[in-house]
Structure 1
Amino acid sequence: MMTLMNMVWGTENDLPAKEMIKYWNHEPGTLKLVRASSNFIYTFQWNSKHYYLRFTHEEDNSAENIQAELDFMMYLLEQGYETVAPVRSKQGKWIETLSTGNSKYHGVVFEQAQGEYVPLEEMSELQFQHWGQTLARLHNLSETYAPSTPARKSWVDSLQFILSVLRRHPEEHKALKEYERIEAWLSELSFGVGHTGLIHFDFETDNIFYMKETSRYSAIDFDDSMYHWFAMDITSALRDLSKQNDDESKKNIDLFINGYRSVKRLDDDYIKLLPGFQRFSDLYGFARLLRSLENLDVSVCPEWALQLKAKLDAICDRIRDGFHPHMVLKTITENNWYACTQLEVSNEQKTVFPVPVVYWLAESAYCGMTPLALYADEELVGFSVYAVDPEDRSYWIMAFMIDQKYQNRGFGRTGMDALIRTIKAEHHCDKIVIGHRIENERASNLYKSLGFVEMSRDEVEVIRELIV
């Protein structure tokens, strides 16, 4: 995301674009603004063909970084991978730099992408698989890429960028804590061959175009590409589907994953890590938005810029609300069993959660249940028990609680979400069942929001079911 101030200056009467386009052959009167976000994007024509002019302020991107992007794209084209080709200027350059007063802009031109845009809701099952296959092919080629120019940035550079922004905003305490958690988490992951490489980072439907004749997608916009875990690319590609959390979306995610796996190996361990990579993406996006709003002079901003600022402020608020400790479920051992017995709900909640943790530990030891301790980072905050029904192989969450000291912090939702993911990943089950007292409205609202559907009830208890 460019700074909002640069966006205001760069779109004023389209002056930078009108000057930048002079470096390339073009038909007068065909230059039109498409959008301005991370870059200024304009379409134009030459010899009745459509092209795209992309330029950015020097504060928002460097010529060296753009050249590294073009080098990777040309390598992909040489290997037969479908992407857009850059176009040389009249002077035979891939990148032109325009000076306007005290500002500089770096510009490039691309051919129009092959294929057609397919909205997420209109994709067929085959197209979801081909989407995954196209990303896997990109990752395979990435592993054999040896850049001749300075390499693109990596997740390490992104972390440094995040920290530099947050240091300019000391009031962002939650974001800084999230940064510390994400940095520690990434430092523990394996990296190198088979794990990391040059990824796209924004392989969503806006940046891919389907070619029916080859059953492949053509990819555009490698502007954000960086060295990162391949799983990060999968996470960003599936972001919109993951948010929907319905049966159709889950099926489509599986189709994408199966397509990816038909081309490149993807271990289940990395599937479990996707929520963590989404947290990195959220934090990185948050820092970019904070930077984009810096030094904004509202006195000279047009109305559209003020409206955009309000929209970006709201997005920052939403992301900020999502910063929370990393929820981890751990087995009960000799080191934490006693601490678990000290967990308690409030006195008011004991009518709906009357059984103490020590009872559940004893019953689990003799009745084949699985007790788990819930940690927020390294702090014990809750407890859960689940078991399998031997008749229909459904998994029952027998107990779930957050200690009274840690309630009203969002741990109930994030903890239950972590428990659902754990059961699904460990047992590949079809459904998860949970019960709660009729009067427990907090539990009822939480479970409904997570997709649990009421199946039955009696005078005491409601039974809910989640298809996974």
Structure 2
Amino acid sequence: MMKLSTMKKVMNTVNSEWRSPLGEEILERWGYDKCSATILRASANFIFEFYKEGKQLFLRFNDSSERDYSSIEAELNIVKYLGNRALNVAQPITSLNGNDIEVIETKLGTFYAVVFEALEGKHLNMEEISDQQAYIWGKSLGNLHANLKQLPEEYRVNRPSWKDLLLEAKEALPKKELAAHKEFERLLIWADELSLSKENFGIIHYDFELDNVIFDNNTIGMLDFDDSSLHWFAADIVYAWRDVGDFNVKNPMITTFIDGYKTETNLDMEILRAFSGFERLHKLISLAKLIRAVDIDAAEDHPEWLINLRLKLSGIIEKYRLSIEKLNK
């Protein structure tokens, strides 16, 4: 989640038709059909849908204060590596200047922008998922991990590890968050004791939830590798099911997902059984990110959507905080 102040300055450029002169200025680097670019969402990134010569494409951009150029470059290297191995991963589209990433200086600041192809298929909600689709979803993640296990070492450069993410969380947490700081110490000890091997640890997607996969009959398209990191592969399974609440290996749908996964690669079940630690790790990192993101004062004059979003995020922060405090009792 980006800082709300950053979100506000860009969203202030969006009109009632969901178009933005800033988005259009950025898209001049690629070319686009006039009046076709509209914003889809703003969360960790700004995402615009647009058309070029009638073809659907997606623009993703970030304020330079949110992500650095080298991490985006490393992400795209992984995406192109996977594409070259025939995985159905949304590929970057080069700009008119021949670049995968464009650096755009504007009156609102510097932005890093990438354009991605659109994949065939559709997103599904958890309520729509059949057993067969859960199996295919798991099989797709297994295939992804099988290929990531072959990823050359140099592709890991400029991608964060679980420890990097945890240390960043510690730095972002205010000193008054005493329970969270104690949880940091516990998690550091816990994770350092987990086994490491080429079969159970490497680059993971980190966000293989349903909003980042597209179902097209018996195949799945993969999106958004911007959170990819060095982690235990089992954590990717746990994080893929975040929307259903606490992870449970006895959940029939999760069991089916794991069955599909195992058809493509090995799974360290001992590491997977440590799922509660991965949930705690994710919760602490998310807490720190959200505290950083909510950087606007409630008393200030904001548009209604921003007031509501701030209220929602503040509620999630409190939920995470209380959950962590319970661990200290």
**TM range, smaller chain:** over 0.9
In structure 2, C-alpha distance between the alignment counterparts of 1:50 and 1:296, rounded to whole Å = 38
Q: How does 1:275-286 map to 2 (within 5 A)?
A: 275-286=276-287
1:62 correspondence with 2:63? no
Q: Give 1:156 shift.
A: 1.7
In structure 2, C-alpha distance between the alignment counterparts of 1:163 and 1:119, rounded to whole Å = 33
Q: How far does the alpha carbon of each residue in 1:351-397 deviate from its partner, in whole angstroms, 9 at most, with x for none?
A: xxxxxxxxxxxxxxxxxxxxxxxxx8xxxxxxxxxxxxxxxxxxxxx
Letter of the structure 2 residue corresponding to residue 163 of structure 1 = K
User: Compared with structure 1, are the counterparts of its residues 25 and 15 closer, same or farther at alpha carbon in structure 2 (3 Å cutoff)?
Assistant: closer
2:199 is aligned, of 194, 197, 210, to: 194
Q: 2:262 — aligned with what? A: 261
Q: Give 1:190 shift.
A: 1.3
In structure 2, C-alpha distance between the alignment counterparts of 1:241 and 1:58, rounded to whole Å = 33
1:124 is aligned, of 119, 130, 138, to: 130
Q: 2:317 — aligned with what? A: 316
User: Compared with structure 1, are the counterparts of its residues 104 and 297 closer, same or farther at alpha carbon in structure 2 (3 Å cutoff)?
Assistant: farther
Q: Give 1:231 shift.
A: 1.1
**Structure number with bigger Rg:** 1
Whether the 8 Å contact between 1:143 and 1:193 is mirrored in structure 2 is yes
Whether the 8 Å contact between 1:241 and 1:250 is mirrored in structure 2 is no
In structure 2, C-alpha distance between the alignment counterparts of 1:171 and 1:62, rounded to whole Å = 29
1:24 is aligned, of 27, 30, 39, to: 30
1:219 is aligned, of 219, 222, 239, to: 222
Q: 1:183 — aligned with what? A: 188
User: Compared with structure 1, are the counterparts of its residues 297 and 89 closer, same or farther at alpha carbon in structure 2 (3 Å cutoff)?
Assistant: farther
Structure 1 unaligned runs (5+)?
327-375, 377-408, 410-468
Which is bigger in relative contact order (C-alpha 8 A, separation at least 6)? 2
Q: How far does the alpha carbon of each residue in 1:100-147 deviate from its partner, in whole angstroms, 9 at most, with x for none?
A: 236211000001122221221122211111111111111111111126
Whether the 8 Å contact between 2:200 and 2:267 is mirrored in structure 1 is no
CA RMSD after TM alignment: 2.0
Whether the 8 Å contact between 2:194 and 2:271 is mirrored in structure 1 is no
In structure 2, C-alpha distance between the alignment counterparts of 1:144 and 1:185, rounded to whole Å = 27
Whether the 8 Å contact between 1:242 and 1:250 is mirrored in structure 2 is no
Whether the 8 Å contact between 2:36 and 2:51 is mirrored in structure 1 is yes
Whether the 8 Å contact between 2:235 and 2:272 is mirrored in structure 1 is no
Q: Give 1:54 shift.
A: 0.3
User: Compared with structure 1, are the counterparts of its residues 16 and 158 closer, same or farther at alpha carbon in structure 2 (3 Å cutoff)?
Assistant: same
Q: Give 1:219 shift.
A: 0.7
Q: How far does the alpha carbon of each residue in 1:239-273 deviate from its partner, in whole angstroms, 9 at most, with x for none?
A: 2234497x9x8110110011111221123312311
1:205 correspondence with 2:206? no
Q: Give 1:302 shift.
A: 2.1
Q: How far does the alpha carbon of each residue in 1:186-236 deviate from its partner, in whole angstroms, 9 at most, with x for none?
A: 111112311211101110111101121xx2211101111111111110111
Q: Give 1:57 shift.
A: 0.5
SS in 2 for 1:55: strand
Letter of the structure 2 residue corresponding to residue 91 of structure 1 = N
Q: 1:238 — aligned with what? A: 241
Q: Give 1:174 shift.
A: 1.2
1:77 correspondence with 2:78? no
SS in 1 for 2:273: helix
Q: Give 1:157 shift.
A: 1.1
Whether the 8 Å contact between 1:5 and 1:297 is mirrored in structure 2 is no
Normalised TM-score (structure 1): 0.66
1:154 is aligned, of 157, 161, 171, to: 161
Structure 2 unaligned runs (5+)?
14-19
Normalised TM-score (structure 2): 0.93
Q: How does 1:276-355 map to 2 (within 5 A)?
A: 276-294=277-295, 299=300, 301-324=302-325
Identity, % of aligned positions: 32
1:34 correspondence with 2:44? no
Letter of the structure 2 residue corresponding to residue 144 of structure 1 = Q
SS in 2 for 1:194: coil
